[in-house]
Chain A
Amino acid sequence: MSKANLLDRRQVVSSLLADRKDAIVIGGLGASTYDIAAAGDNDRNLYLWGAMGGAVMMGLGLALAQPKLPVLVITGDGEMLMGMGSLATVGLQKPRNLSVIVLDNESYGETGGQLSHTGAAADLVGVARACGIADSRTLLTLCEIAAFAKGMGDILSGPRFANVKIDKANLDRVLSNRDGGFILNRLRGALGYQPI
């Protein structure tokens, strides 16, 4: 069942965010949001508990509005599959400061581990590249994750897309804030915007 040498999702995300500096981070619903919370709460985190399929588009709106800041979307294979068209929309707009990374365990871990399309058929890296995101790659090692983390700070050479095969372990949930108004206004405040 489990393939050898698959990465641990919490290690991947903590490595991605260890030196994030001023990056804005969006977490797709489910385990990706828990992974980001586990790496440490941050004013510039946008956690999703729903809106499945929307994470990349939120990243695009943010990246276009804030072209001088790195924007990172961290999501799962199920969430990415539901919003696959958004890769074409990103490929058209080509925001230089946007990075998307998919934590791919080939299953819907939050709902009982049902298999997703990425295990047997769908190649998300191929999809992203075919949608016009030229810098699309598979990451296999923590060393490659660290290099990707460094690269996402480069706001002139995106958009970039990466898929990471992770193990299927269902880890204890680390719950982030889930009050949208709080999360949104905290993020806006960190960027210098006031509530209305």
Chain B
Amino acid sequence: MHARSEASAEQAADWPEEILAILQRFDVRQVPYVPDAGHSQLIDRVLGSSTMRGIPLTTEEEGVALMLGAWAGGQRSALLMQSSGVGNCINMLSLTQVFRFPFLTLVTMRGEWGEFNPWQVPMGSSTQGVLELSGIRVLRATHPGEVKEVMEAAASQAYNALTPTALLLSQRLIGTKVFVK
């Protein structure tokens, strides 16, 4: 069995719940996303939330523009996407430097840890570099036990210091919790 089903049944993990709790504590109200299997538990919880609005996008760059509008209107937001989506955002990320608004994205990584699909590797390999060249600070969580602490730091610097931040959720983390056979 070579293929890993991205929609395979998964056990509920603790770390998406920890991310959700931190988003709620920072009063995040709009959560734009392009679906990813690694984000599926968090997306379900956001869509079921009474305080947050999950907003499906047709492409990730829409989310960057939406976040500026949300902040202009007084609301915080966070963008959920997969590593390949970072490439779709590049020009729109200029908004974070032009406007200095609270930008936080949570990126589930592909193409870096036992990847089966070669098409995921090029963008997964350049995700961190692309973000950094675009002026985004990058933090990373690799093990379930560190997600809460790293997410806390990411949210704090994004919302309190207007430091545009990406939290990369490693494929090792996603893989160990989501892509079970």
Contacts and interface: CB of A to CB of B under 8 A. Distances in A.
Contacts of A55: 65
B75 A85 contact: no
Interface in B51-84: 53, 55-59, 61-75, 77
B117 interface: no
B69 A184 contact: no
Contact of A85 (B62, B72, B94, B101): B62
Given A64-B30, A66-B73, A89-B57, A196 B68 contact: no
A75 to B, nearest CB: 12
Q: Which size class do B's interface residues fall under?
A: 20 to 34
Contact of A61 (B58, B67, B100, B160): B67
Given A51-B92, A51-B95, A188-B74, A62 B62 contact: no
Nearest to A65: B73
A193 B74 contact: yes
Nearest to B101: A184
A61 B99 contact: no
A46 B98 CA distance: 13
Nearest to A191: B74
Given A62-B70, A180-B100, A187-B72, A57 B62 contact: yes
A51 B70 contact: no
A61 B79 CA distance: 12
Nearest to B74: A193
Nearest to A93: B55
A169 interface: no
Interface size grouping (class) on chain A:
35 or more
Contacts of A58: 65-66, 68-69, 72
Residue of B74, B98, B101 contacting most chain A CB atoms (<10 Å): B98
B72 A62 contact: yes
B29 interface: yes
Contacts of A89: 55-58, 62
Interface of A: 24, 26, 46, 50-55, 57-66, 83, 85-86, 88-89, 92-93, 180-181, 183-184, 187-188, 191-193, 196
Given A51-B95, A65-B69, A181-B100, 15 more contacts: A51-B91, A53-B65, A57-B66, A61-B69, A61-B70, A61-B75, A63-B69, A65-B74, A65-B75, A86-B62, A92-B56, A180-B100, A184-B101, A188-B71, A191-B74
